[in-house]
Amino acid sequence: MSESIWFRQATPEQINELGKNTIAEHLGVEITEIGEDFVRGTMPADPRTFQPMGRVHGGANVVLAETLGSTGANLLVDTSQYYCVGLEVNANHVRGVSGGKVTGTARLCYRGRTTQVWEIRLEDERGRLSCISRLTMAVVKYD
């Protein structure tokens, strides 16, 4: 068994509670699993997340990706001294999703003193890649 990368432990329920009254809740994003080195979550492919052609909107994919990466980033730091915010995000949308759920998995690529880089892979219910995203996080010290 591998060792956890997290500075602090949290349950999916605790993280989802923090997402109340945010865009994540509005779009139905839920954290479902926090592993030793990843954060996983889902988002429905339904009218809340669709573009006019009935497929998940690229912006909704980015919300899921940034939510997962931001969750991981903040679990890596001592939040009494630091907080992490998105600095840059990109996404390649490679397959449309028109129903079911999108599942995303965020994994750390780089951990520095002031930045982190995360890769987030989004898949449809059949496990097919629908979007791949890279998220750069700034690690900010409280004043």
Residue owning tokens 């028109």? 98
Cα distance between residue 43 and residue 135, in whole Å: 18
Q: Establish whether 66 is a catalytic residue.
A: yes
Catalytic residue among 66, 88, 119, 123: 66
Q: Which segments of 7-141 are extended strands (E)?
A: 30-34, 38-44, 82-93, 101-111, 115-123, 129-141
User: Looking at the annotation, which residues are catalytic?
Assistant: 66
